Amino acid sequence: MHNFNSGPSILPQEVLTEAAEAIHNFNHTGLSILEIGHRTNWFGEVMTEARYLVKEFMQLGDDHEVLFLHGGATAQFMQAPMNLLDTDETAAYCDNGIWGSKAIKEARLFGNVNVVSSSKDKKHTYIPKDFFVPEDSKYLHYTTNNTVEGTQWHHIPATTVPLVADMSSDIFSRPMEFSKFALIYAGAQKNIGAAGVNLVVVKKEVLGKVKRPIPTIMDYGNHIEAGSLLNTPPVFAVYVSMLTMRWIKKEGGLEEMEKRSRQRAEFFYNALDTLPLFKPIVAIEDRSWMNAVFIIEKPELEKQFLEQCKENGMIGIKGHRSVGGLRVSMYNALPICSLEALVDLMKEFNNKFA
């Protein structure tokens, strides 16, 4: 099978093998990872290593804390402004796709939102470059990679206000100056694990400043104090994330992940640009290295193309239900041979129908 799913997405084979073994016998304990207590030393070692690896990859010190929480990135659309934004304050948001739009909707429940950047005018097929962020903004929020629309920020926005980023679909695919961010959150199921856990990295100095009471389970400070054990964490999902980060480190770290991401993206886009039947729709300079979004110039052929993909063991190529078209996701664990097989099929299909 060639797995191009946008999430939950492909995982390294050795991670799947080790996780499967742990379901039957975790670290020779005779117990399954699914049944060990979350406050045991066994799981404590997993959580400690997972948090350590995040800080190592991000090159962060004691001023940042690492949390593994429930709810996925969608919960963070609400939890971030609840912890950072007061009713009489304004946060700046970038609206560059469906997930940014959802984050804006949730933030407006807690304070004022100033949409400083939007690509709605061209159906989110590009990333705006010139926009102004007022200095009195509580923070600037943006989505680093837009999974649905196939755009990606290839630079960190220049601003003097605290940065908040949803990195769900490109985290740990490249080195970044992670220390520039006040808050980072990412659902694990794209590049760093299985569905069910959300990574949150927060700079402690931005917390404890809102006047509103925050429900216990929603307060980042409480989770920090409890070491992500305020309530029962998603034990198995945290374990798979730890295994995946081990794999990233073993393979060469974020520098190697970036090298492979570039290789995959350049290979696929170079082929896509030469096939007249297939049309990329994203501005070239803003194309995502993670999610290539495109259409067939003859829409009546889309169903037939997807059927051929299925017959050849290629899954996950149908575009998001909100935009349609086609999408190829190229996360860390995707081998280049899968893209080579897909490109061969696309060339054959193009030669037949173009």
Smallest CA-to-CA distance from 7 within 193, 166, 131, 138 is with: 193
Cα 195 to Cα 265: distance, rounded to the nearest angstrom: 24
Tell me which of 95, 170, 190, 318 is the catalytic residue. 190
DSSP one-letter code for 245? H
Place of tokens 């989770």: 223
Amino acid at 187: G
**Is 286 marked active-site?**
no
> How high is the pLDDT of residue 324?
86
Domains of the chain from N-terminus onward: 14-251 (3.40.640.10), 253-353 (3.90.1150.10)
Residue 107 burial (CB < 10 Å; 0-12/13-18/19+)?
buried
Query: Do 95 and 119 contact (CB within 8 A), yes or no?
Result: yes
Is the full-model pTM beyond 0.85? yes
Per-position b or e across 324-333, b if 16+ CB within 10 A of its CB: ebbbbbbbbb
Cα 274 to Cα 289: distance, rounded to the nearest angstrom: 18
SS3 labels along 306-347 = HHHHHHCCEECCECCCCCCCEEEECCCCCCHHHHHHHHHHHH
**Is 247 marked active-site?**
no
> How high is the pLDDT of residue 321?
86
Tell me which of 95, 166, 219, 286 is the catalytic residue. 166
Give the mean pLDDT of the chain.
Answer: 97
> How high is the pLDDT of residue 106?
98
pLDDT at 192 over 90: yes
User: pLDDT (tens digit, 9 = 90+) per residue, 253-293?
Assistant: 999 999 999 999 999 999 999 999 999 999 999 999 999 99
> How high is the pLDDT of residue 6?
95
Q: Is 187 helix (H, G, I), strand (E, B) or coil?
A: strand
Mean pLDDT of 1-30: 96
Tell me which of 99, 153, 247, 289 is the catalytic residue. 99
> How high is the pLDDT of residue 323?
87
pLDDT at 354 over 90: no
Mean pLDDT of 126-153: 97
pLDDT at 307 over 90: yes
**Is 99 marked active-site?**
yes
> How high is the pLDDT of residue 74?
95
